Amino acid sequence: MDFKQEIERRRTFAIISHPDAGKTTLTEKLLLFGGAIHVAGAVKSNKIKKTATSDFMEIEKQRGISVATSVMGFEYDGYKVNILDTPGHQDFAEDTFRTLTAVDSVIIVIDAAKGVETQTRKLMQVCRMRNTPVIVFVNKMDRPANDPFDLLDEIESELSIGVRPLSWPIGSGDLFKGVYNLFESSLYLYEPSKQTVQEGVNVGLESEELDKRIGDSAAETLREEVETINGVYTEFDVEEYLKGKVAPVFFGSALNNFGVRELLHCFLKIAPKPQPSHAEERDVQPDENKFTGFVFKIHANMDPNHRNRIAFVKVCSGKFERGKGYKHVRLDKELKFSSPTAFMADKKSIIDEAYPGDIVGLPDTGNFKIGDSVSEGEKIHFRGLPSFSPELFRYIDNADPMKAKQLAKGIDQLMDEGVAQLFVHQFNGRKIIGTVGALQFEVIEYRLLHEYGAKCRYEGLSLYKACWIESDDEKELQEFKKRKVQYLAKDKDGRDVFLAESGFMLQMAQQDFKNIRFHFSSEF
């Protein structure tokens, strides 16, 4: 297969949702279809002993939530599919935001009973900023659900996007009989099955076969509803979907493996192949001959036995080859990678080559930071991976004097992952952890103890905002630092950060020092 065909057959997408909508369960079922796993796991595993493939960290298995993005690739029907399962919980939204820069399209999972929820709205805003094509999967139709037409209206108004149903549910809850696939004109009758795949039956809407299979009343209702759909919604236009203006909608039950096949088959046909990537210098086309890529995630201790760090690199153009020398743009030095890996969550396999759209894991000894670019010699800088100003702050101290080295190493590596931000107070020299959600503090404490053998202790710190400061007026900057010495810190990269205790204090600083720029994200 030649280079262009390899690009054409790749589909790289993220699955996003509010917590508990069924995102990780849907990921499991897609992996089941791809033959990547043989038994789908459960996210909240009480009776089922197998946990979800994508929730591989110990804390994820215990809490039943995803706290880190996991990458899974598999072959299906001639396509190379790369799924990125993201955390739904808002405390880990920054990981999800960064992941959305590495994908070409998105599947949004919505709970049929709860409709569009807060986190879904926030994530959709990020998709809209980048015009990312979106497919919606309305999950849990086998439980009591809202009216499908009401759900469509809610998706349109809340997510500010046009919708077009491509499958339609026949009932819901105890009366759920199946879905009618409008994209392929076939009927799928519902049988709860967590592990097997249902085959569809080609049945025309007007045929007597439909009445026989689902009953006269349900068949009549289905015909009326499909007529309404065709009257209200315009024909599905792939171009409008690719521009991010229309979202095809599917209905089903991920837990019972129902409606997932229709979603996958349609997705493979219409989803975009790898798209151009935007760099500071120019737009990078996937079919360029020379390799370029960027680091969008770093994960420490994927294998706790080896204390290894992996940098996740999205291939933007050209072909990545094992053992070849590539330029680390920020450090301006050449690096060779003898064991680049492909992923199945925490399971890795060494690869010899990768193409645009693929995610490659590079073993890292501390060379990489999130946002770093790698190329075949060109000085290129990919943008769009900022760290946002944290909202919660705590001092972090060592609770075991014998483990000071382990704690320092642990904090260092976890901060490189971007799970939180580290500031060093310039006035008292103490380390401050800043996060966007309280749950991150628990995750950091748990991982420090279980992955590094280090105990930490937190102390509350009341701050309104931490913002990065810079100025072209050196004299004013020095004056600011002199007057605000008690409120200054350095971030991990040695940049100046102002710790404002209140909104009023920040406002006054901005008024008094007109030539100082206050930034609320690290990318400036």
Tell me the mean pLDDT in the region 410-419: 82
* Mean pLDDT over each residue of the chain, to the nearest integer: 84
CA 436 to chain centre: 16
To which H or E segment does residue 94 belong? Answer: helix 93-99
% of the chain with per-residue pLDDT over 90: 49
* Cβ atoms of 13 and 241 closer than 8 Å: no
pLDDT in tens, 207-241: 788 888 888 888 899 999 999 998 999 899 999 99
Alpha helices in 167-315 (DSSP H): 208-214, 216-232, 238-242, 260-270
Say whether pLDDT at 36 is over 90.
no
* Cβ atoms of 439 and 88 closer than 8 Å: no
Angstrom distance (rounded) from CA 84 to CA 269: 19
Query: What count of Cα atoms within 13 Å lies in the side-chain half-sphere of residue 467?
Result: 18
Tell me the mean pLDDT in the region 390-416: 90
Domains of the chain in sequence order: 3-270 (3.40.50.300), 277-375 (3.40.50.300), 392-519 (3.30.70.3280)
Sign of CA dihedral 344, 116, 240, 169: positive
Give the chain's length. Answer: 524
Angstrom distance (rounded) from CA 274 to CA 314: 11
Look up residue 29 and give its two tokens: 């079922």
Greater confidence (8 vs 261) lies with 8
Output the pTM of the full model. 0.79
Cα–Cα distance list, 407 to 161, 300, 425, 455 (Å): 46, 14, 18, 7
* Residue 344 β-bridge partners: 72, 347
- Residue 200 DSSP label: P
Look up residue 163 and give its two tokens: 């919708």
* Cβ atoms of 273 and 285 closer than 8 Å: no
Say whether pLDDT at 37 is over 80.
no
The 3 state secondary structure assigned to 148-168 is HHHHHHHHHHHHCCEEEECEE
